Amino acid sequence: MRSATFLLILICSFARSELMDELTAAEDVFKAGLKLVGLEKGLHLLEDHPAEKDEVVIAIHGVATLGYEWVYPLSKLNYNNNLVAFYRWAPVSTSCANDEAAELLNLIENDFNEYATIKLVGHSAGGVLVSKIIDSINTDQEIEAHIIASPLKGSKVLNKACNYSPIQSVQDNVSLYEWRTQKKLDAVYRFMIDDPQIVEITGSIVTSLPDKYGEYRLGHNRSISWVVDKITTDKGL
């Protein structure tokens, strides 16, 4: 039985059904990005309905997102056999992301359980949330998790206040991909003593990103587009 949360998301998705088309056709990514950050907190389906789809893609942003960095990746991730959703949340909160993880776990395990594959794409703090989800998930579905430029190591403040520690391994049905920016090129991590992206997770596949994305420096926000290009190209999409 569908949960009330899912039914609300589904009803809202009809009002947002044109959003994916707008993202795909956007000429001004900054204006399109404002539409993403203007969404209410929670999960938003960017397409009409979930019928006849094999995969759900859940994109999770990081701290202080402006939305523009997701416009191209979301349109690129959209193909015929999947349903794309965008999760709006407040990464800096008193819940230490536990409430958000519980909300998404409930949706995956109870409302998206008819889909063969769940693809999670988390950027920056969104990757920390993805790690919480895959550490606790209870499903037989295939889980494909992409953690991009994420401070999985945490920080002294976060680790103490939230009793946070990085996950140690992944379950058999979880494929975890860590995509790490070069610290010297990442404006968020450049001046930190240690690179917070570097942790040891048994079963994880780690890729260090190059220094360029086309002619541009491959930093924190462009990392999403580079990774999405890579994972869709590898699948022949």
Q: Which CATH class is domain 4-234?
A: alpha beta
- Band the pLDDT of 51: cuts 50, 70, 90: low
Strand order in the sheet with 82-88: 42-45, 82-88, 55-60, 117-123, 142-148, 174-180, 205-208
User: Given this model, what pLDDT does residue 14 score?
Assistant: 41
Q: Once rounded to an integer, what is the mean pLDDT over residues 112-124?
A: 95
Asked whether the predicted pLDDT for residue 101 surpasses 50, the reply is yes
Expressed in percent and rounded to 5, the helix, strand and coil fractions of the chain are: 35, 20, 45
Q: What is the pTM of this model?
A: 0.91
Residue, of 236 and 7, whose pLDDT is higher = 236
Ramachandran class of 207: left when φ > 0, alpha when ψ lies in -120 to 50, beta otherwise: beta
Lowest average pLDDT, out of 21-35, 116-130, 169-183, 208-222, goes to 21-35
* Ranges of each domain in the chain: 4-234
Q: Tokens 């946070």 identify what position? A: 164
Q: Once rounded to an integer, what is the mean pLDDT over residues 46-74?
A: 89
Give the rounded percent of residues in the chain with a pLDDT score beyond 90: 73
Hey, which residues does 175 pair with through a beta bridge?
144
Hey, which residues does 121 pair with through a beta bridge?
59, 146
Asked whether the predicted pLDDT for residue 16 surpasses 70, the reply is no
User: Given this model, what pLDDT does residue 229 score?
Assistant: 97
Instruction: Measure the CA–CA gap between 237 and 216, rounded to whole angstroms.
Output: 24
